[in-house]
Structure 1
């Protein structure tokens, strides 16, 4: 809008902002709360979103399309700090929180709340009718994945057996199923590596527990692999087959372990998914894609592939916008364009993130490195203030995105942060502006205070109705045809290898699209694509 405004002024053309006030997503109470949060009179003489005209871009007056579908907004009190902070062990895992830390307690409270809402049949709107909430109706938005809150929420949900989609972004090498597959590669290259073999035996392919592994490893003399061979475990035949295939291309090696798994009771895919669940599918698929790309451009060597993966790693972005009936925990940036009936904002106490590199751009487009704030002159002081104002407005725009993801219910909460004698939240934090908006709404008599144990929750809007959870239709497992689990016949083709063809870049011959049998081939392709569309 600012770009159109400035260009229209330069061209001396009449310009009017389009009216985009109608909201089809959120309930009236959610929109009223958003309008109150970003009331321009509260931010005067500044504007909530912009530094320059047009002023109309800062006016926030939504018109709800869902007038007859009420919702609610809740503001929870901050999770307080413990009086005694326990000493953390020197080897405590990174990004982990102690059980009595405010973030850990908040994560447990959110998980308990979701469990209670599911068990009591909290109602949400679905096509102008109410139905009981499901796990997929909950969306938890955080500002970042570090700091302990993100991982704490995931762990708290899993401990209560609540289906959760997992992280929306994961590092490839941090994924346990990926490490299980890479361990197969490591074992094929070096069967004398006892630690790798022990990890395979404890993983989904081996399925041993600590006592079973100890019974094999403790009395042995020498390496672990001869002891496993002597014990004739169910996984022994599979591991022997892994050693036989050590000279295969990475893609062929991994897909054989996942789809065939010679010697295993079930295919590798089933073992991995039964151990780690649906979130394991994306990182494993990313590793397979990496292996296919590696085979196409490099010599098909397991050693070179393992080295490339360990050196480069990589990030896997999981799509959490699908129809999976699981609680989604993701960043606000990743949630742009998404929506959910119940949205929870737990990461609300931090201040906006200022630009700390000290590099600013003048009006003439010249870059200036200002260094620390103590050495500022008039120009750098002005540039630093402009940069700070832009960061603050970006901070507010991100809050607007977070608030407007909610369809029916919005819950704002947080964990105490900062000095014990402080308010527990920064002056520019999301919690500060949401608390201010709830206070102004309370002055109009439209906010209800609810006693919940030793804390008081403020709610704007009516309490959600309760619907019998038995109304949720149960998903009956469909009997799959037998041919889906029947291995395809093995076709062996003798291939002449030469040093000049190790890279495998030769292309197969192309079939003419206008040759004989064209109609049959097109019909076959259409049927295959139709199967891809309708099969689960």
Structure 2
């Protein structure tokens, strides 16, 4: 809407904005999805699990089809992917009331029926030809390069797909160095590894950045949003073994009602350290903003608790800062 960034007297651009969250969860994905729906350029999250990315899912589907073309679900997924680009109507026309038992056999039988089926058959036949004779890296590099797979993925999924595609190829190259490469072995290996990608979002690159507060240490932005300030760390992710203060050993406290003096002291000390870290992260998050800082939150069935970031900021700023500098805006 061309709102003006008052301190710099110019319109706001996407890379002015940094969205910081306490941890990666479904809310982060919802934020990224909503930004894309609003046609706001977004760089995505700072970390991602490789096999959870749409581009990688499509690449894995291509490999799985090459290994077992009789798998109808995998083939249907691949036909709808950017690699083939078959419409839902064309897929239904191919799959519904087919005379062949398997979807692949039906495509082979009807490949001359129209250009859509012919193009799909040509691409998939090439994948089958390569599967038994080329290592995984060459298989996917050919699909992404000469067969125009990368262009098709980026055309549908956007530039954010580049990082997972490159990492997937890197994984295929690394796998080839471990021993005799096989497509089936690579797909199992990459699926079991759950590789996590850390992306460099230090520069906005013309897009909104979304990352955790931990990852933002040392970074700054003109406008910072803290959208999940109503939750408190609840100990759900505490380690099973807790350090005993001043003893140099750890205890496994099991249940709280079974605590003795030592385990109770260890539990209390860890909770205090957790709360101190929670407050330190709030300081880090707030000091990332050069000009404007937006602090918000969402509540579940339980109301926000005392000591959460939102209440800490309200208690610390609303009563102390000049009204011109801090504004509380209730949302519907």
TM-score strictly above 0.5: yes
Q: CA deviation at 1:286?
A: 1.1
Distance 2:292 2:325 in 1: 15
Taking the aligned partners of 2:6 and 2:160, their CA distance within structure 1 comes to 26
- The structure 2 residue matched to 1:401, chosen from 284, 287, 296, is 284
CA-to-aligned-CA distance 1:393-426 (integer Å, 9 cap, x gap): 111111111111111100001112353xxxx322
2:214 maps to 1:333: yes
| 1:370 alignment partner in structure 2 | 253
- Compare CA radii of gyration and give the structure with the larger one: 1
- List 4+ stretches of structure 1 deviating above 4 A: 444-450
- CA–CA distance in 2 between the matches of 1:197 and 1:447? 58
Q: Residue 281 of structure 1 aligns with which residue?
A: 162
- Trace 1:224-239 onto structure 2 (pairs within 5 A): 224-229=103-108, 230-231=110-111, 232-239=117-124
Higher helix share: 2
For 2:68 and 2:239, how far apart are their aligned partners in 1? Answer: 47
Residue 375 of structure 1 deviates from its aligned partner by: 3.1
Counterpart selection for 1:387 from 247, 270, 273: 270
1:156 CA drift (Å): 1.4
- Aligned ranges 1:378-457 → 2 under 5 Å: 378-419=261-302, 424-441=303-320, 446=324, 455=330
Equivalent pair of 1:124/1:133 in contact (CA under 8 Å): no
**Deviations 1:306-357 (CA, angstroms, capped at 9, x unpaired):** 2212222321222222342111111111111221111000111112344463
Matched length: 322
Structure 1 residues 291-318: Cα deviation after superposition (integer angstroms, max 9, x where no partner): 1111112212112112212222321222
Q: Which deviates the most, 398-407 or 190-199?
A: 190-199
Inter-partner Cα distance in structure 1 for 2:141 and 2:103: 26
Matched-pair contact (CA < 8 Å) for 2:16–2:204? no
> Where in structure 1 are there 5+ consecutive unaligned residues?
1-118, 262-266, 458-536
- How far, CA to CA, are the matches of 1:446 and 1:183 in structure 2? 56
- Equivalent residue of 1:221, what SS? coil
Q: Which residue of structure 2 aligns with residue 347 of structure 1?
A: 228
Counterpart of 1:6? none
Q: How does 1:61-460 map to 2 (within 5 A)?
A: 119-123=1-5, 129-146=8-25, 148-222=26-100, 223-229=102-108, 230-231=110-111, 232-247=117-132, 248-261=134-147, 267-354=148-235, 355=238, 357=240, 359-419=242-302, 424-441=303-320, 446=324, 455=330
Normalised TM-score (structure 1):
0.57
Structure 1's 331 and 204: CA in aligned 2 closer, same or farther, altered over 3 A? same
Q: Given the superposition, is the C-alpha separation of residues 204 and 383 from structure 1 closer, same or farther in structure 2, using an over 3 Å criterion?
A: same
Q: Supply the RMSD in Å over aligned alpha carbons.
A: 2.2
Comparing 186-195 and 393-402, the one that deviates more: 186-195
Could you tell me how far apart the structure 2 residues matched to 1:143 and 1:314 are? 22
Whether the aligned pair in 2 keeps the contact of 1:124 and 1:341 (CA below 8 Å) is no
Does the C-alpha gap of structure 1 residues 448 and 145 become closer, same or farther in structure 2, counting only changes over 3 Å?
A: closer
- The offset of 1:259, in angstroms, is 0.7
Structure 2, unmatched stretches of 5+, are: 112-116
Structure 1 SS opposite 2:10: strand
> In structure 1, how many angstroms separate the alpha carbons of the residues matched to 2:155 and 2:324?
49
Deviations 1:250-275 (A, max 9, x none): 011110111101xxxxx111101011
- In the superposition, relative to structure 1, how do residues 194 and 384 fare at CA in structure 2: closer, same or farther (>3 Å)? closer
Alpha-carbon distance, 1:144 to partner: 1.2
Task: Identify the range of structure 1 (349-358 vs 324-333) with the bigger mean alpha-carbon deviation.
Answer: 349-358
Report deviation, 1:384. 2.9
Displacement of 1:374 after TM fit? 2.5
Partner Cα distance (1:300, 1:397) in 2 = 48
The 2-side partners of 1:345 and 1:372 are apart by: 34
Within-5 A mapping of 1:453-472 = 455=330
Q: Is the 8 A contact 2:22 2:228 kept in 1?
A: yes
Query: Displacement, 1:376?
Result: 3.2
Q: Secondary structure at the match of 2:320?
A: helix
